[in-house]
Amino acid sequence: MINEMRAAIFDLDGVIVDTAKYHYLAWKRLAKELGFEFSETDNERLKGVSRMRSLEILLEVGGLTLSDEAKTAAAARKNTWYVEYITRMDASEILPGAAHYLRFIRARGVKTALGSASKNAPTILERLGITPLFDAVVDGNKVSRAKPDPEVFLRAAHELGIPPASCVVFEDADAGIEAALRAGMGAVGVGRPEVLKKADMVIGGLWQLNILFNNQAEL
Ligand code: BG6
Ligand code: MG
């Protein structure tokens, strides 16, 4: 049940921007170095998942085990390559309708926050030029418990000073929908209804809200 939306909290990867392709290129490169192939289907399992958990899934796919030290080094190498990709991003990579929808709701007094597992979120927002569209940014550097734990969204609500019941989360990952519901917030799935079954409603992308609510005016 979605109450009046006083704050909107957005996941980053898959909602505002499609960084999954860059994560994939970097993980694939790491897998190759370790001597195995990593497919796009395997990559689906990494969406919304923390960096270290992603590495564990990758190693499981390759049938490898590494020491904790080697794991830390491997995750850092992957991140170096990933950062090379994202520092080349620009505003053209913002997903359709995302910036417009953010401007639209902000103009109507709705507070906005980012709630992402990524430690690279601030860099990505800077590259896209949309940092000013968020009143709060809660990312992987600020929280210790990964989605489906509600920590990231509860912290965002706290930073915005809005009660959870008046927040709506926009998420493309099942674990993120679960986290939003556990936080007592409304949950809008961005993606396919058959995957995001628990969401209060599911849209194909933020562009759809601009059409549904006829908020086409230039902002
Ligand atoms: C999430 C992505 O947003 O961030 C995951 O969906 C990623 O695929 C996670 O692993 C952590 O990102 P980063 O940038 O801290 O490695
Ligand atoms: Mg996501």
pLDDT tens series, the chain, 219 aa: 456 899 999 999 999 999 999 999 999 999 999 999 999 999 988 988 899 999 999 999 999 999 999 999 999 999 999 999 999 999 999 999 999 999 999 999 999 999 999 999 999 999 999 999 999 999 999 999 989 999 999 999 999 999 999 999 999 999 999 999 999 999 999 999 998 999 999 999 999 998 776 665 555
**Number of CB atoms found within 10 A of residue 10's CB:** 24
- How many A from CA of 19 to the centre of ligand 1? 9
Q: Which of 9, 11, 13, 47 to mutate to test the pocket of ligand 1 (most atoms within 8 A of CB)?
A: 13
Q: Domains in the chain, start-ordered, CATH in brackets?
A: 7-18+93-218 (3.40.50.1000), 20-86 (1.10.150.240)
Cα(102)–Cα(47) distance, rounded to whole angstroms?
Answer: 23
Residue with tokens 């079954």: 197
Q: Which of 10, 54, 58 to mutate to test the pocket of ligand 1 (most atoms within 8 A of CB)?
A: 54
Tokens standing for residue 104:
């639209």
Q: Which of 11, 42, 172, 174 is catalytic?
A: 11
Ligand 1: list residues with CB < 6 Å.
12-13, 23, 46-51, 54, 79, 116-120, 140
Q: Which long-range contacts (CB under 8 A, 24 or more apart) does 24-29 make?
A: 25/81, 25/85, 26/78, 26/79, 26/81, 26/82, 26/85, 27/54, 27/58, 27/78, 29/78, 29/81
Output the pLDDT for position 214: 64
Q: Where are the alpha helices (DSSP H) in 8-150?
A: 20-34, 40-44, 51-62, 68-86, 98-107, 121-128
> Ligand 1, closest atom to CA 20?
8
Tokens standing for residue 53:
């958990």
Output the pLDDT for position 215: 61
Output the pLDDT for position 49: 86
